[in-house]
Structure 1
Amino acid sequence: MAFHELHQDNVHARSLMGLVRNVFEQAGLEKTALDAVAVSSGPGSYTGLRIGVSVAKGLAYALDKPVIGVGTLEALAFRAIPFSDSTDTIIPMLDARRMEVYALVMDGLGDTLISPQPFILEDNPFMEYLEKGKVFFLGDGVPKSKEILSHPNSRFVPLFNSSQSIGELAYKKFLKADFESLAYFEPNYIKEFRIVKSKKNPFLV
């Protein structure tokens, strides 16, 4: 197994293809040895998702290989399953700015209870799960959520997404031939992308 990760903001465009090349070199494989191309399908950064999916589709088209999309939150939740019990709850969260996060709710066995969607944090939307037992919160939405989600059953896990969990879930999909349409596959943004004009300069967005 080979993987290469870079945890920095706003570097997809200039760094992604270099990381792909490094992985092939690390694994000692040619691109033609691929069986499929997997990519995080969102939610997440609009620009990051567009670049990631575009690169994945480009590789898949050039090599005539299938594309596998893996939900970002599902992959993040997958990282907590090894240390959770069946009665626990796993809630991966991605920062959606202000007091909002993108999250899903999953039980300790990996079954989805609430599909990915935006949650407003002010009123602690996860209280019903905290009242039942341990809840594992993880992802980059955790730091701004700790005070609001503080509870004896809260477990704040310092884990973020990884290409390893994307790959493991993608392999399960590969075995079931659960592929995306190369022509119509689009990332799951959850919310529509909006361009906000600059208040200081009307010619800038």
Structure 2
Amino acid sequence: MALILNIESSGEICSVCVSREAEVLSLKESVKPFQHTEQITLLIDACCKEAGIKLKDLDAVAISSGPGSYTSLRVGTATAKGICYVLNKPIIAVDTLESLAGAAIKQIKQEALYAPMIDARRMEVYSNIYDHHLQPLEETKALIVTEDTYSEFKEDVRNIYLLGSGAKKCAELLPPPRFELMEVDCSALHLVPIAHEKFGKKDFADLAYFSPFYLKSPNITKAKPKL
């Protein structure tokens, strides 16, 4: 019975949970946004304590692999890799968009399409679109949302559900009845089913070479020279 530490750090909120055979034993999430560096080890300690385990008891660590915030992903990945290196445990990479789509699929009974969106700058989002079997229909990409977004699916009669941190700002451009807004945001809970499935298949990332899927380089503003 695999015991997995799941870490979601791709966005504003850092989220950690411990699961055994897809059953969640404990969940801890930060309250303040973008406090990953200060909070992540505290959340992990609290999560393990509530679950009644020690880090050495883990069978693997699952990490949300992106896309998402550059700094947030780096913090989560560094923490996960550090634990795995010290304890000689495998690391499991879970695509952030796939985990969001998987959570949405559980809530919808009929056939539909799912467009998880991670908020980027202005009207830009990191997105892909999935069918009801959690199969991606496109390549993950950064896109500027317009009224024509997803027009390639205009002949498809299925509803498209918008979810994730970037969905709300797109709702006016992509209105009902074709598009539906869902309240599904990033959480370590959403990593659990995928992480345990990957563990069963021994689908582990290469610990030495694994790095998050940033999709785009960080937006770094250079300081202006002093006059």
Q: TM-score, normalised by structure 2?
A: 0.84
Of 151, 167, 179, which residue of structure 1 is paired with 2:176? 151
- Structural mapping, 1:1-205, within 5 Å: 1-85=25-109, 87-129=111-153, 132-198=157-223, 201-202=224-225
Determine helix, strand or coil for the equivalent of 1:77.
helix
Amino acid corresponding to residue 113 of structure 1 in structure 2: L
Q: Percent identity, aligned pairs only?
A: 38
Q: Is the 8 A contact 2:128 2:141 kept in 1?
A: yes
Q: What amino acid is the match of 1:189?
A: Y
Q: Deviations over 1:17-69 (max 9, x none)?
A: 00000110010001111000111101111110000000000000011100011
Residue pair 2:64, 2:93 contacting (<8 A) in 1 also = yes
**Partner of 1:20: helix, strand, or coil?**
helix
Structure 1 distance, partners of 2:74, 2:95, is 14
Equivalent-residue separation in structure 2 for 1:108 and 1:89 (angstroms): 6
Work out whether residues 163 and 185 of structure 2, in 8 Å CA contact, stay in contact via their aligned partners in 1.
yes
What secondary structure, in the 3-state scheme, does the structure 2 residue paired with 1:178 have?
Answer: coil
Unaligned 5+ residue runs, structure 1? Answer: none
Misfit runs of 4+, over 6 Å: none
Contact residue 89 and residue 129 of structure 1 kept, 8 A? no
Q: Is the 8 A contact 2:147 2:174 kept in 1?
A: no
Matched to 2:38, the amino acid is R
Contact persistence 1:86–1:109 (CA under 8 A)? no
SS at match of 1:189: coil
- Residues 68-103 of structure 1: per-residue CA shift (max 9 Å, x gap): 110111111111111334631000001111111101
User: Which one is further off, 138-147 or 122-131?
Assistant: 122-131
* CA RMSD between the two structures: 1.6
Query: Shift of the alpha carbon at 1:194?
Result: 4.0
Name the CA distance, whole Å, in 2 between partners of 1:153 and 1:167: 30
- Looking at structure 1, the residues matched to 141 and 177 of structure 2 have their Cα atoms a distance apart, in angstroms, of 25
Paired residues of 1:85 and 1:109 also in contact (CA < 8 A): no
Aligned length: 201
Query: CA offset at residue 121 of structure 1?
Result: 0.6
